[in-house]
Structure 1
Amino acid sequence: MIVLLPPSETKNPTGTGEPLALSALSFPELNPVRQRLVTVLSGLSPEEGRAALGLSEKQEQELKHNLVLREAATMPALDRYTGVLFDSLDAPTLPAGARARLMVGSALFGLLGAEDPVPAYRLSGGSRLPGVGGLPALWKPVLGPVLRGLDGMVVDLRSGAYGALAPLPGAVAVRVVTAEGKVVSHFNKATKGLLARALAQAPVETVDELVDVARAAGLEATATGRWTVEIVHA
């Protein structure tokens, strides 16, 4: 079983690992696209970077991360990302076996294993880069086959922009809703982080088992279809 996580815009800016080596990342068949995106991102002028990434002048540090992608220190992907979902996941406290069941969908790297060493960077799934355009057209032909080749059940927790990079038919989709059935936005990430943590520690093979694990973790989960689950946020 694999839990496929979205990345986060916010990242730990530090690191102690060796500089980025694409050869050290999982799924080497993605490296040609990774290389192209690293080259484009690291070569953007401040004006181009702000326009392409939707950043303000106050977010200049985000652009600086991109300029040193090849030289900056790295850390395991699962520890690089921060924010609400990753706070709830609390990845540093998970044992190695549980971490291995978690992967991150990334606009820059396509798909990352938990321990893949990556630098801080800024690139969103919905970004459009000079000379590249939108990212789905770039990623779908190569990322789609990789995702479809993952073993066992895949629980896809990616948000819309990252799911669009390469949809995965047959993966389990999870929605977080209110008691009235409305989609939750504010607590969506925290709930998915808790679910991902529970599943990483208790892998499942069916949607019914997923619901049982979610309920054991205190989440009000219900199977709503063959490949869909809803969690009600109280």
Structure 2
Amino acid sequence: MLILLPPSEGKTPATTKDPFALDELSFPELSAARKDVLQALADASSRDDALHILGVGASLMEEVRRNISLETEPAAPAHTIYSGVLYDALGYRRMTPVQKRKADAAVVIISGLWGAIGFADRVPAYRLSMGVSLPETGRLSSYWKRELAGPLSRRAGDELIVDCRSSSYSSAWSAPPEQTAAVNVFQQRNGQRTVVSHFAKHTRGELARHLLTRRGAAPSTPQALLKAARQHWDAELVEAIGRKPHQLNIVLHG
């Protein structure tokens, strides 16, 4: 089982002193592309119009300045750096050692800066979204789409892919539809079903946690994933059609 997560906008800076090591990150074949994006981000963050390029407000100026020196900034495992609703619900710190090893092996984070990294890879806090277009690379979703297909296809093999990414990160790699289930979250009230973005992040984090901490073998098919999800939620599975993967729809009531 491979669980794909987006990064979080919010990040907690590392408290250690050691910077990241490019050659220690998962998917080493992405090293050259990562170097290019790191340099492009540093250059963009040094400009007078850095806030406009990165699409952020003045309150985040300190985070933008940090982008200039990421190669010397302190680093920590990705599951420590990324914070926010999804990662809080996943609750890595509350896992047992065995569960943490399962998470480290199963979770891959799709990132505008790194392309794709493992859950335990050491990275610094930074500010960059996949939807950004850097002057030296162009739109990052298009840039990474050219780079990620080979490495992620090899990593996925024939495993079930549980896709918890948001739309901008999904565009960076199209997972094989026949072995992928994209996770959607709806709220149903008075017979009406609506999309709920905040609860979607939280529920995707809870689903990832459930899959990593439940007893028994990890689901290997979309149908087995549905069965696992139904242990906690009202869920349905829409079969893959053409290039569109299976859709695991979780419905929250009330």
TM-score, normalized by length of structure 1? 0.94
Matches within 5 A, 1:11-26: 11-16=11-16, 18-26=18-26
Aligned to 1:78: 79
Deviation at 1:6, TM superposition (A): 0.8
2:8 alignment partner AA: S
CA distance in 1, matches of 2:68, 2:9: 17
Deviates more, 1:207-216 or 1:157-166: 207-216
Deviates more, 1:23-32 or 1:127-136: 127-136
* Alignment: residue pair count: 233
Aligned to 1:116: 121
Question: Quick check: 2:112–2:141 contact (8 Å CA) kept in 1?
Answer: no
Matches within 5 A, 1:82-161: 82-94=83-95, 95-99=99-103, 100-149=105-154, 150-151=156-157, 152-161=159-168
C-alpha distance after superposition, 1:118-137 (max 9, x if no partner): 00011101001112211122
Runs of 4+ in 1 over 4 A off after TM superposition: none
Aligned to 1:213: 228
Question: Quick check: 1:42–1:67 contact (8 Å CA) kept in 2?
Answer: yes
Deviation at 1:86, TM superposition (A): 0.6
Q: Secondary structure at the match of 1:104?
A: strand
Q: Secondary structure at the match of 2:193?
A: coil
Structure 2 gaps, min length 5: 241-245
2:233 alignment partner AA: L
Deviation at 1:43, TM superposition (A): 2.4
Matches within 5 A, 1:154-173: 154-170=161-177, 171-173=180-182
Q: Over the residues paired in the alignment, what is the CA RMSD in angstroms?
A: 1.5
C-alpha distance after superposition, 1:74-93 (max 9, x if no partner): 11112210001111001122
Change (3 A) 1:22 1:187: same
CA distance in 2, matches of 1:129, 1:222: 39
Deviation at 1:64, TM superposition (A): 2.0
C-alpha distance after superposition, 1:102-149 (max 9, x if no partner): 111111101111111100011101001112211122111210122222
Q: Secondary structure at the match of 1:108?
A: coil
Q: Secondary structure at the match of 1:187?
A: helix
Q: Secondary structure at the match of 2:41?
A: helix
1:194 to 202, 206, 218: 206
Question: Quick check: 1:2–1:153 contact (8 Å CA) kept in 2?
Answer: yes
Aligned to 2:69: 68
Aligned-pair identity in percent equals 36
Question: Quick check: 1:53–1:124 contact (8 Å CA) kept in 2?
Answer: yes
CA distance in 1, matches of 2:15, 2:167: 29
Question: Quick check: 2:92–2:100 contact (8 Å CA) kept in 1?
Answer: no
CA distance in 2, matches of 1:15, 1:212: 40
1:23 alignment partner AA: D
Deviates more, 1:110-119 or 1:178-187: 178-187
CA distance in 1, matches of 2:7, 2:50: 20
Deviation at 1:181, TM superposition (A): 3.0
CA distance in 2, matches of 1:117, 1:185: 28
Question: Quick check: 1:29–1:142 contact (8 Å CA) kept in 2?
Answer: no
CA distance in 2, matches of 1:15, 1:169: 38
CA distance in 1, matches of 2:17, 2:173: 29
